[in-house]
Amino acid sequence: MDALALSRLQFAVTSMFHFIFVPLTLGLSILVAYMESRYVRTADETYLRMTKFWGKLFLINFALGIVTGITMEFQFGMNWAEYSKYVGDIFGAPLAIEATVAFFLESTFIGLWVFGWNKLSKRAHAVSIWLVAVATNLSALWILLANGWMQHPVGYTLRNNRAEMTDFVALVTNSYGWLKFFHTLLSGYVIAAFFVMGISAYHLLKRNDLNFFRRSFRTAATFGLLSSILIFLVGDFHAAEVAKTQPTKFAAMESVWETKQGADYNLIVVPDPANERNSVEAIGIPKLMSFLAFGNAQAEVKGLKEFTPAERPPLLPTFISFRLMIISGVLFVLLTIIAFFASRGDTLDSRTTLLTIMLYALPLPYLAAQFGWIVAEVGRQPWIVYGVLKTSDAVSKAVSPAQVWASLIGFTFLYGFLAVVDIYLLTKTAKKGPDSDLSAIIKTARTQEV
């Protein structure tokens, strides 16, 4: 493997591993903030216990997310120096804002939240976790606006063989970036909802602390249902945006080979007798794709044969990942609808079949999120900045395959170790359950009131 292939593999490994932690942080911060707000409003000590328990799991995940994110930034200088030189003035701006505004806000107030239980009033302490949640989601916004610019570059000019920013407002208001942000954000909310429901289901099956985990399950089911429905709506807008701005990716997502007016929505794929690279043909619903993409059943959808083989993304990974993501989304809506209505009464703990399904469904949203990133990043190839800079031109010229092999092996072992630590800590904490000693919690609450 050459330096380009190894660098791509390394970035894929580090980014996909990092994204295991990010979405749970996005969603769980909102849920923990909601739980503490309910405690402040009602003085119900169960909500305080919920805040403490789920907050502990949030902190474990948050710490691992920070560690795994740092290595990604270094790769822009080490493995992708040509990319950094070519578009660094543009790509670096939102990342700098993320670091100096969102991350510092996040890290400051998470410190106040962790160490301020006996020092801040109840309201001030609840405000701290809400600011953490806002900063966490704001951090995702700036990162995804940067990625959105790579997907659909706007507000720039090419000068002296470099891309230079001419309109910062265009970058900030890039519709592709905002749709990607809401799609990613909602996927994190679904992950957090299934995380809480899965762990709650485990304890309900074991008849542990029934009132506590019934409430946790009900809260997460409501959150998950709203998020699952919204992600479908946002995803529809996002797919239409891809059709307009990235026709090669859209053609790969939908396995469209021939440019056609009134294109079919493909359901079943079979080998293409033309024997094109990674090629398939499909059987589908007439004219539905044109309608979904452009709101017009007769609209033209460009096929992959419209572009040279060198400009086409890998078809099978993009097509299959997109279909698996859609199927997962439908499943999440169905499961959260059932979970929402099942959690309304006091008989949830007797629904063992549903609880077992929700326990084993816990990793499914994680997989769906990874499928989404495969569609986004593999489907963009061969471009690192769509239509502007190819991935093959962005890799560092000075780096050797041996150097990338060394860092790839090092990252793999490091991340493997961190994965073991994370799974161990999350599993141990989740199985242990909330603190059953109410005296310490009540003492904390009374100290805050004073």
Q: pTM for the whole thing?
A: 0.87
Q: Provide, rounded to the nearest whole percent, the portion of the chain with pLDDT above 70.
A: 92
Q: Which of 55-59, 63-67, 261-265, 433-437 has the highest mean pLDDT?
A: 55-59
Q: Is residue 449's pLDDT more than 70?
A: no
Can you give the pLDDT at residue 359?
Answer: 93
Residue scoring higher pLDDT (399 or 83): 83
* Partner residues linked to 437 by β-bridges: none
- Residue 108 confidence (pLDDT): 86
**Which 3-state string (H, E, C) describes the chain?**
CCHHHHHHHHHHHHHHHHHHHHHHHHHHHHHHHHHHHHHHHHCCHHHHHHHHHHHHHHHHHHHHHHHHHHHHHHHHHHCCHHHHHHHHHHHHHHHHHHHHHHHHHHHHHHHHHHHCCCCCCHHHHHHHHHHHHHHHHHHHHHHHHHHHHHHCCCCEEEECCEEEECCHHHHHCCHHHHHHHHHHHHHHHHHHHHHHHHHHHHHHHCCCCHHHHHHHHHHHHHHHHHHHHHHHHHHHHHHHHHHHHCHHHHHHHHCCCCCEECCCEEEEEEECCCCCCCCEEEEEECCHHHHHHHCCCCCEECCHHHCCHHHCCCHHHHHHHHHHHHHHHHHHHHHHHHHHHHCCCCCHHHCHHHHHHHHHCCCHHHHHHHHHHHHHHHCCCCEEECCCEEHHHCCCCCCCHHHHHHHHHHHHHHHHHHHHHHHHHHHHHHHHCCCCCHHHHHHHHHHHHC
Domain range list for the chain: 3-230+321-449
- Write the CA distances from 139 to 20, 22, 98, integer angstroms: 16, 10, 5
* Residue carrying structure tokens 């919920």: 50
Cα separation of 336 and 205, whole Å? 18
Task: Among 115-119, 131-135, 198-202, 283-287, name the one with the lowest average pLDDT.
Answer: 283-287
For range 163-177, the mean pLDDT? 89
Share of the chain above pLDDT 90, in %: 25
**Confidence (pLDDT) at 267:** 65
pLDDT band per the 50, 70, 90 thresholds, residue 192: very high
Q: How does pLDDT run across 295-305, given as a tens digit for each residue? A: 788 888 888 88
Q: What pLDDT is recorded for position 450?
A: 45
pLDDT of 423 reads 85
For residue 434, say if its preceding peptide bond is cis, omega within 30 degrees of 0.
no
Indicate the pLDDT class of residue 413, thresholds 50, 70 and 90.
confident
pLDDT: which is higher, 405 or 266? 405
Mean pLDDT of 123-140: 90
CA nearest neighbour of 257 among 284, 297, 237: 284
Average pLDDT of the chain to the nearest whole number: 84
**Confidence band, pLDDT 50/70/90 cuts, at residue 73:** confident
Least confident range from 149-163, 257-271, 372-386: namely 257-271
pLDDT at 446: 47
Residues 28 and 50: their CA atoms lie apart, in Å, by 12
Average pLDDT rounded to a whole number, residues 210-219:
90
Residue 447 has pLDDT above 90, yes or no: no
For the cut 80, the answer to whether the pLDDT of residue 118 exceeds it is yes
Mean pLDDT for the stretch of residues 248-266:
82
Contacts of residue 129, defined as CB under 8 A and 6 or more positions apart, other chains included, come to 29, 32, 33, 36, 51, 55, 109, 113
Write the pLDDT tens digit of every residue in 269-278: 544 545 455 4
What's the distance, CA 321 to chain centroid?
15
Q: Which tens digits make up the pLDDT trace of 236-245?
A: 888 888 888 8
Q: For residue 184, give both structure tokens.
A: 């990613």
Torsion 173-110-123-192 (CA) sign: positive
